[in-house]
Chains A and B, each alone.
Chain A
């Protein structure tokens, strides 16, 4: 905790959608200790330089989830991002509102799209009327059952993952990482009676739109690892319902391809994913690809040591924890 200060240039996004044609960036330069949180810097600007700057904040200890924003193009909490490393890496601190949610004013966004997806997950215990809760005592839960939640109970709904997610940007139907991690939390809850329904429903309601880019896990300040929980949901959904959707058929087909030959048979995979009619529908696109890459129509040779793959898959198929 050094006492020396550095000069910190902050370029802060300012925008009033009611009056401004476009956003602008305002430069504030402050002398701060390197471990000063960006939130502290912004509050100092509000108190000492410009009281018109708008942002959300409350706990300043990474537990309320209010102060998510883009800091040097990464979605994170302002209260736990320090100015020193940012200045060292980028020469300045660019502060912008979260993405994938409309700007209300400056750094404040309208979180309605985020909460709408959260609500879609029916985030409450579904009970079987025939099986009431034990009267006057808690449900027993083993430590192993608690372990199955992984770190999903740590989620503070800060929406950093929702802001970072390219699938959310591409398709408003995608529930987003937080909502899916929340869904996972209910799916593995031994008290919940909706596991099967939840998994079947999510298969057609956006589960397979995840791009597996892991930017959610990367941006999560509480280490919830939504990408891994989405993977778990996909596996559980296939186990419950089989590969009934394009996404799940693609995943299963991909695995079959690799398992049998160690390499992809693109034509076979396209048929497995889309079915015969879908395959015919994609012929035009297929021909365009074939002109550039004629080898895709050739049947691939099994790779060397393909039999080793079988052993790997056998090991992977064994139940157990995989983080």
Chain B
């Protein structure tokens, strides 16, 4: 296509470039002008991450053709402030903690900038509306509203003093905030390499079909195509998480609609997509199965012909489409039901849901002629990318070097290889660097690694006085065509099946079935929102059956210290009752609700970490330090705040003197990855231990120089001195300098951590939750009786974080988790019919927007865990679970109905209202 001249002003500079008519303003800014701060989250005007100011008005740059900007004035994030000086909007965002993964941040800042330029004192309502097109999946918007309020009130200066403090418990500003708020942070799609080409996938057009032939001739003939790869011309091994049942390409048959069959690379992404459409695949359609109950019937079509041939790290019965079965229990439920005064039954359904990170998957690979391959990717587990690739492509782990980029939101969606194998194969085949980025449609429909849909049936026996005596739970999870995380989801779910309650007789069954649906993954708090919905909605029903208030009922049955879980874990540092009381009080639980309104409670428990990691803390010559960890930060900010705060505390120096090393799998020590609420519990604790190790070495060195006992050494304000004699001292910088110059190198503190799980008495693949965290949420809402619309009017979340190393970070996790949980409760549902996702976009798969976010009260409870020096408990995942149950219970309170199904869309609520009317 012929290029035309485009003359316009960008960030006050006159620019003249050549673009094609189809070039979007977004592409011109990113690719032609290198302004990578403008992000593409969807390309369909639904997320706002590409926001720029066009003649002062905030617009989506993906919705504008570049040539339409002729003669106009464009401001991107790079145009705000001056070099080294942030714009006030940027300052406010940095100081308030309104930045997490940072992918939405440039767009968010520009929308706020557009607002404040026209109105320096906007109301909160103005702010909510102004950023309502800018989806943020991390923060729950609350800290962004705080930023706007500080800006509006001119209270930025007051905040600044607070923000500089980096002690334990202080609201230290994360060290990557400035990089992110200025648009400088480099994400996977921002990687640009010389001669780079682009990949696309050929995907199965059937949910279940035998592949008879794959003809790549047409694709190879298309000018601009550089490589085509199919499963028939490479070596493929099976890979997976616990269960290794998946290969890179479908070979004999395709098991879900959209399964990759071939990959192509071409000089432009457009040509690559066209080439993909020219690969001819001949299919023989097979009968398919989608419903998990049907999948378990003996005559159901088999998704995997020989599931027992796959390597599986756990033991389980597997036959037909049953991918995993788990049973765990305690006592005798039959006897328990016999002793109960009431037996209450219920079945609860949750739909497929998407992690919803605003950044789509993107990966780039380059193969060197010697055979080594470098991969830039957006991953929560860079080291696992290597091992997955090694298994999938039958190579050595050491053949891969993975460079993790900034992650534009993970939430579990970036735990597993999605594009990495294809860019590797295409880079090898073409000899060129290859980049592949999923479109939003692909991201939602085929590569999603969705949250497992669930069907949970519960039968509970209770005494008149409200004491729980028995509970039987059957959980059914549909893992789709492959089961990378199905077994793990069921195993985690089984630990929540009895809630955080004392139930003497328990019988829990977890079932995971294969089907011809899109494979499911391990999304933030896997099985948590499903189980919190089922168990907590059911508990409310049980409480009503014995005429008890939901809070009183929970307080009667909730765990105390010394209680045991279904696997026999003896609990310590239990705080569930404190969380319940505080959350309930925050919504004035005891005050009666007017008609049409209701209040609800839900509580849960969850694991902190852990898995293995190693941290090094190394001296520089001037007594600054390098913190070296292989863990990446998916956006929460743990790595750039609480980990540094813990290291600083362990060493006794300011956090600002510790530099976080950003590296790759060649240079950093191995780590499991970012997930499982482990950042502050595991990584920060490891950093603390490494710091203590280094401190000991420094003190020993000082003791030698000062000719005194090590035990008498004190480190303070950058000097080490002899206790009781401040005149006898040596500067830390002097010790470091001497070590480097005279003893051949730095001092390095080392910590390797792999926690033992707490002991249990029952066989179970997970067994126990180390340093379990507890939480309770309370919600107040009103319902429009005619339309079924819900308005959440108040929301309180109380979380036991053990010790809040950085309260801003803890609150950010909670507020963001609540936003995500409210989405699951009220609007998020990926609708799959016969294996086809009907709503693969942010226009039709709705995330909570700034206008939907209720006023939040975030309550930090600190009941220190027995593990670790500070008593930290994980907080990354837990906040997403209780909103489902809390909203369902508030709705039940408002309408006197049984809620059995999420999400509670207006139509779903309207259906509930109709059943009530008919019942009366």
Chain B binds chain A: no
